[in-house]
Amino acid sequence: MEEKVLQVTNLTKHYKRKNAVDGISFSLNKGEIVALTGPNGAGKTTTIKCILGLLRKNEGEIFINGTDNKSKDVKYKLAYIPETPDIYPMLTVWEHLKFMALVYKINNWTVVAEKILSKFDIADKKDELAKNLSKGMKQKLSICCALIHNPEIFFVDEPFIGLDPKAVRELKDAFKALKEEGKTILISTHMLDAAENLCDRIIVVKKGRVLAEGSIEDLRHKIKVSQETSLEDIFLEVTEDEK
Ligand SMILES: Nc1ncnc2c1ncn2[C@@H]1O[C@H](COP(=O)(O)OP(=O)(O)OP(=O)(O)O)[C@@H](O)[C@H]1O
C-alpha cells in the first residue's frame, strides 16, 4: 500500500476578504513527483506556504507523516526551494553547505556535503563564489543546501524558469535522483512541457480549488481526450471548462 507522507484536507486561507485557498484537499505518496499547476493567482504558493507553516491557515488540516504540521519535529522533514534561489553571492558553494549545516546543527556535515556535491555534479564548483554560478547551477546549489538536513518532502517553486534546455534536463535528473532515494517532491509550475515527462501526478488548481488530479493518463481519460493530448492542452481544457 502507498505510504502517505502529506495529507492536506479542506485547506482554506483568506487574506482579509480574499479567499486565496478555498477548501483544497490532496495527498502525496512517498517517492512521488507531483506537479501543482494552475493559472496565476490560483493559490499554489499560498497552499505551499501553509504546508510549510510560513502562513497560518484559516481552516483545514495538514498532516506530515500523520503528524500535524504545527509540530516542530515535522518541520525538519520539509524543504522549500524558492523560485529565486536564496543564495549569498559572496559565499562559495562549500560555505553555503557549511552555513546550512551550522543552522541545522548537523554532525559530520563535511562527509554529507561532499556526497551531495558529487551527486549533483557540482563538486568542481566547490570553491566558486555563488555570484559567479549560472542560473542552473544556482538552482542546484539551492537544492544541495536544502538536502543537508536530509528532509523527506521537497516543495519547489517554478524551478525551470530561465533555464536552458541542458540545465532543465540536469535539474529533472536531479529530481529523479531524489525520487530514487524515496524523497517526495511537489513542484509548483506553469512549465507543463517540463512537468509532463517528469511528474507521476498532476494537481490542477484554480480559484483556490482543485479542478482535477491524477496521472496524465488519468486526466486524459477523465476529460475524454486522446492519449496523445499534451499536458498543456489538458490544462487549457480543464481550466477553461470551469465556470
Ligand atoms: N499577501 C497577500 N495579501 C493579499 N492577497 C494575496 C497575498 N498573497 C497572495 N494573495 C492573493 O491570493 C491569491 C492566490 O495567490 P498565490 O500567490 O497563492 O497564487 P499562485 O497560484 O501561486 O499564483 P502564481 O502562479 O501567479 O504564482 C491571488 O489572488 C493573490 O493575489
Residue minimizing CA distance to atom 31 of ligand 1: 41
Q: Which of 44, 48, 158, 190 has the most ligand 1 atoms within 8 A of CB, as the residue to mutate?
A: 44
Q: In terms of C-beta distances under 8 Å and separation of at least 24 residues, what long-range contacts does 105-110 make, across chains too?
A: 106/148, 106/149, 109/148
- Nearest atom (ligand 1) to Cα of 208: 14
CA distance 232 to 1: 31
Residue minimizing CA distance to atom 16 of ligand 1: 43
ipTM passes above 0.95: yes
Pick the closest to residue 203 from 224, 188, 193 (CA basis).
188
Q: Where are the domains of the chain?
A: 1-77+152-243, 84-150
Residue minimizing CA distance to atom 5 of ligand 1: 15
CA distance 73 to 39: 33
Per-residue pLDDT of the chain (243 residues; tens, 9 = 90+): 789 999 999 999 999 888 899 999 999 999 999 999 999 999 999 999 999 999 999 999 999 999 999 988 888 899 999 888 889 999 999 999 999 999 989 988 999 999 999 888 889 999 999 999 988 889 889 989 998 999 999 999 998 888 888 888 888 998 999 999 999 999 999 989 888 889 999 999 999 999 999 999 999 998 888 988 999 999 998 888 555
Q: Which of 18, 56, 210 has the most ligand 1 atoms within 8 A of CB, as the residue to mutate?
A: 18
Q: Residue 40: CB within 6 Å of ligand 1?
A: yes
Res 241: pLDDT: 58
- How much distance in Å is there from the Cα of 42 to the middle of ligand 1? 7
Q: Residue 45: CB within 6 Å of ligand 1?
A: yes
CA distance 217 to 48: 25
Residue minimizing CA distance to atom 12 of ligand 1: 20
Res 243: pLDDT: 52
Res 207: pLDDT: 93
146-169 residue pLDDT tens? 989 999 999 999 988 888 888 888
Q: Residue 54: CB within 6 Å of ligand 1?
A: no
Res 145: pLDDT: 93
Q: Whole-model pTM above 0.90? A: yes
**Per the structure block, which three cell numbers stand in for 216?**
496524465
Residue tagged 563564489 (cell numbers): 129
Q: Residue 18: CB within 6 Å of ligand 1?
A: yes
Beta bridge partners of 135: none
CA distance 37 to 56: 22
Q: Residue 41: CB within 6 Å of ligand 1?
A: yes
45-67 residue pLDDT tens? 999 999 999 999 999 999 999 99
Instruction: Report which residue type is found at 141.
Output: L
What CATH topology corresponds to 1-77+152-243? Rossmann fold (3.40.50)
Residue tagged 507531483 (cell numbers): 34
Residue minimizing CA distance to atom 4 of ligand 1: 15
